[in-house]
């Protein structure tokens, strides 16, 4: 294929490959390229159409020779009857086809053999695995579907009906292979979201008074390191951009199909890819604290978690095994023929009941992940489906959680509003907390003129301190200025108190031991909040509740504007979990949506907790569902996924019981041969699995 060397170092090379397509099997291609002598690691970026090699003790000529001779068509995804979105041959441990080959081989050769003993030997050998597994399960687990299947084949062999025995064995082997492959692929849909860890990254270090780049193992990156990411590279940490501009592809993490422009001050998350540009990122979350690490933890839970409805299906399947055995006995009494017994033993409820449900859950979790909604497991889907009361913490959920400067007051005639804003922005521009970002953005919009200042001291939970023109500047909370710095607020308290009553966030600016002025900020309501509430009610939500620290009048006005049913105003952060508990005590199934550190108790005590994308780490850790897009509409998408998934599971459940009951009754009445029963039974199971893998519609 056509290649072009973009960049190389002594141990790393990046190639541009025009022929790379989005539909090829990336895992298999990476695995084959790693077999090149001297290559230690390979990473493919499909969007950037690039392949990055880590190597030692080899030449680029060898790598390029392999790339030029590569047949990319070999790795193309092929369509299957299961789903257009599932790649063939994905994963490293595909289910074995050995039993299919053996059983089909026996089925094809048996008619051409005339010696009964040889026929018996070939059939028994081909059915050996099934018969042994059935015998083992009989003694270890009692009557199971595997026991019934092996008994059906055993009865046919005993009757010397080798066509039925081999045909049944072949259908069972094929059915089992498709079932295992379906489960394998549904797991791959989820694993696809957990991109391989970026093993190395470039960080900025200082050496001999000069800044230079150093390539390090990502596991050694610390909070506060400056990580440099260029075009085609995957971001390995979560943090804020401190310099540079880039176009970042976030589809793997948020589901956004278009690359997002990012610049200084913007937040970026691990697992996303820089398509164009070059940025320096201040590392905030590293290692196991990054978004990709949290996603992998979600995946680990979701792959093996048993849902309540799944456990119900398993229990029902096990209870129905004796029913199948009883019908087999009844069929013998009716026909006095062991052929009908073999037919009945072919049909049971176990396979479809036990497999279709978890596959449906896994597929929905994968689909949600591709849309920026991380669901921790099947139980979270069930809980969200049952939730009939949605409780929203106002700030950061119904509002953007991003402050905007609304007004500036100067208390010194020598200082204009613009000068106060420029002074504040000059001191705050080195920090990324919401207040600082709001101040800097407002200053830029008004023509920011930087004021020279000395080194800035950041005082946690209070504010900042610096010096301008030899005079001390303090910016921050009222407590910081009035109590700690002993700056008088006399003459301004009435105006300030009115701002606070109106629910505004006030930043205080002190200069030369005097209150220079105030900057008032507000948090705007999301434009789609009202539409989100309306759609939730269309999905069956009975009540919506808002929790806020605002005064009653302001809170009620906002509730009426967006359609909230019930409001709790003047709330203290510690009271949120109490409200959730009271609602649950009244019989409500509560979904709580929040983003702050103080939301963690409410997220944990709710029936299901949903954390916003910009929320605190502890909120994300305690929530059952995490939103990776800063879009309140994702709450509706999550609810719809839950509703549609449970509908799909119920349809599959009813179809399994109904169709298999008819097959059983037909076999009991002698209407079906063992082979016909096997075809009908396995065909039904495969159809239901295909329906589960197809997933739900969320658009």
Could you read off the pLDDT of 473-517 as tens digits, one per residue? 999 989 899 999 999 999 999 999 888 877 788 999 999 999 999
CA 620 to CA 290: how far, in whole Å?
Answer: 11
Taking all residues of the chain, what is their mean pLDDT, rounded to a whole number? 81
Strands 12-17 vs 50-55: parallel, antiparallel or unpaired: antiparallel
pLDDT of 387 > 60? The answer is yes
Asked if 110 and 119 touch (Cβ cutoff 8 Å), the reply is yes
Residue 548 pLDDT > 50: yes
pLDDT band of residue 265 (cuts 50, 70, 90) is: confident
Confidence of residue 78 (pLDDT cuts 50, 70, 90): very low
What domains does the chain contain, in order, with CATH numbers? Answer: 3-73 (3.30.70.100), 200-233+237-289 (2.70.150.10), 373-399+527-643 (3.40.50.1000), 401-524 (3.40.1110.10)
% the chain with pLDDT above 90: 26
The whole model's pTM is what?
0.61
| Phi, psi dihedrals of residue 145, rounded to the nearest 5° | -65, -35
- The CA dihedral of 71, 74, 76, 77, to the nearest 10 degrees, is -170
The predicted-structure confidence for 183-213, as pLDDT tens digits, reads as follows 665 555 455 545 445 778 899 988 887 888 8
Contacting residues for 22 by C-beta, under 8 A, at least 6 apart: 46, 47
How high is the pLDDT of residue 92?
43
Total residues belonging to the chain: 699
Looking at residue 74, the DSSP 8-state letter turns out to be: G
**Residue among 660, 667, 651 at smallest CA distance from 683:** 660
- The Cα 547–Cα 528 span in angstroms is 18
Give the residue among 320, 343, 327 at the shortest CA–CA distance from 667: 343
Whole-angstrom distance between the N-terminal and C-terminal Cα of the chain? 37
- Most confident listed range (252-256, 375-379, 441-445): 441-445
**Is the separation of the CB atoms in 270 and 291 below 8 Å?**
yes
Share of the chain above pLDDT 70, in %: 82
Residue 547 has pLDDT above 60, yes or no: yes
What confidence tens digit (pLDDT) does each residue in 271-316 have? 788 888 899 999 988 887 776 666 565 555 555 555 566 666 666 6
Residue 24: its pLDDT value, please? 61
The span from the CA of 683 to the CA of 635, in Å, is 37
Per-residue pLDDT reduced to its tens digit, 331-372: 878 777 777 777 777 677 666 676 778 778 878 887 887 788
The mean pLDDT value for 263-272 works out to 84
pLDDT score of 83: 30
- β-partners of residue 594 are 611
Name 519's Cβ contacts closer than 8 Å, sequence gap at least 6: 405, 407, 408, 409, 420, 421, 424, 439, 506, 507, 509
Tens digits of per-residue pLDDT, 536-545?
999 999 999 9
């Amino acid at each position: 294929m056509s290649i072009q060397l973009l960049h190389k170092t002594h141990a790393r090379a990046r190639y541009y490959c025009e022929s790379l397509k989005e539909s090829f099997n990336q895992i298999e291609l990476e695995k084959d390229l790693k077999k090149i002598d001297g290559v230690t690691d390979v990473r493919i970026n499909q969007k950037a159409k690039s392949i990055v090699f880590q190597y030692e003790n080899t030449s680029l000529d060898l790598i390029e020779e392999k790339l030029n001779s590569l047949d990319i068509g070999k790795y193309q995804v092929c369509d299957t009857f299961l789903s257009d979105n599932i790649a063939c041959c994905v994963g490293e441990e595909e289910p074995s086809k050995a039993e299919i080959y053996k059983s089909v081989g026996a089925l094809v050769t048996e008619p051409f053999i005339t010696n009964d003993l040889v026929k018996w030997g070939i059939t028994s050998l081909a059915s050996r695995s099934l018969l042994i597994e059935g015998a083992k399960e009989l003694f270890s687990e009692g009557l199971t579907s595997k026991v019934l299947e092996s008994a059906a084949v055993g009865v046919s062999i005993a009757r010397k009906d080798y066509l039925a025995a081999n045909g049944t064995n072949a259908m069972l082997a094929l059915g089992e292979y498709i079932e295992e492959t379906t489960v394998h692929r549904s797991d791959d849909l989820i694993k696809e979201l957990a991109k391989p860890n970026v093993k190395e990254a470039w960080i900025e270090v200082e050496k001999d008074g000069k800044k230079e780049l150093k390539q390090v193992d990502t596991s050694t990156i610390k909070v506060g390191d400056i990580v440099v990411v260029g075009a085609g590279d995957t971001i390995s940490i979560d943090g804020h951009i401190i310099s540079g501009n880039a176009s970042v592809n976030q589809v793997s993490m948020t589901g956004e199909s278009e690359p997002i422009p990012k610049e200084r001050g913007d937040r970026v998350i691990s697992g996303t890819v820089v398509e164009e540009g070059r940025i320096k990122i201040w590392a905030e979350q590293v290692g196991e604290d990054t978004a990709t690490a949290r996603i992998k933890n979600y995946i680990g839970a979701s792959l093996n978690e048993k849902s309540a409805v799944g456990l119900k299906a398993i229990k029902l399947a096990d209870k129905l095994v004796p029913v199948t055995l009883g019908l087999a006995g009844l069929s013998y009494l009716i026909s006095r023929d062991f052929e009908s017994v073999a037919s009945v033993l072919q049909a049971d409820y176990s396979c479809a009941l036990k497999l279709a449900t978890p596959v449906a859950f896994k597929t929905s979790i994968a689909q949600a992940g591709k849309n920026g909604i991380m669901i921790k497991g099947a139980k979270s889907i069930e809980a969200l489906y049952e939730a009939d009361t949605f409780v929203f913490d106002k700030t950061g959920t119904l509002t953007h959680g991003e402050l905007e400067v609304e007004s500036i007051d100067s208390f010194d005639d020598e200082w204009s509003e613009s000068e106060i804003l420029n002074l504040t922005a000059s001191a705050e521009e080195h920090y990324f907390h919401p207040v600082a970002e709001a101040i800097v953005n407002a200053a830029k919009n008004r023509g920011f003129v930087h004021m020279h200042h000395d080194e800035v001291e950041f005082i946690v939970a209070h504010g900042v301190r610096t010096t301008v023109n030899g005079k001390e500047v303090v910016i921050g909370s009222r407590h910081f200025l009035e109590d700690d710095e002993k700056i008088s607020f006399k003459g301004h308290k009435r105006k300030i108190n009115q701002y606070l009553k109106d629910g505004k966030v006030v930043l205080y600016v002190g200069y030369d031991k005097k209150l220079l002025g105030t900057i008032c900020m507000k948090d705007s309501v999301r434009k789609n909040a009202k539409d989100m509430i309306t759609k939730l009610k269309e999905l069956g939500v009975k009540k919506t509740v808002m929790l806020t620290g605002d005064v009653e009048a302001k809170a009620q006005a906002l509730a009426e504007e967006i359609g909230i049913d019930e409001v709790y105003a003047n709330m203290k952060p510690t009271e949120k979990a109490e409200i959730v508990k009271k609602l649950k005590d009244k019989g409500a199934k509560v979904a709580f949506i929040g983003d702050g550190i103080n939301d963690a108790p409410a997220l944990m005590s709710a029936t299901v907790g949903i954390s916003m994308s910009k929320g605190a780490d502890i909120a994300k850790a305690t929530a059952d569902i995490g939103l990776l897009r800063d879009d309140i509409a994702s709450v509706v998408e999550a609810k719809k996924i839950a509703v549609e998934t449970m509908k799909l599971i119920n349809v599959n459940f009813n179809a399994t019981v109904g169709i298999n009951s008819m097959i059983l009754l037909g076999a009991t009445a002698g209407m079906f041969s063992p082979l016909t029963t096997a075809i009908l039974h396995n065909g039904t199971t495969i159809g239901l699995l295909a329906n589960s893998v197809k997933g739900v519609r969320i658009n």
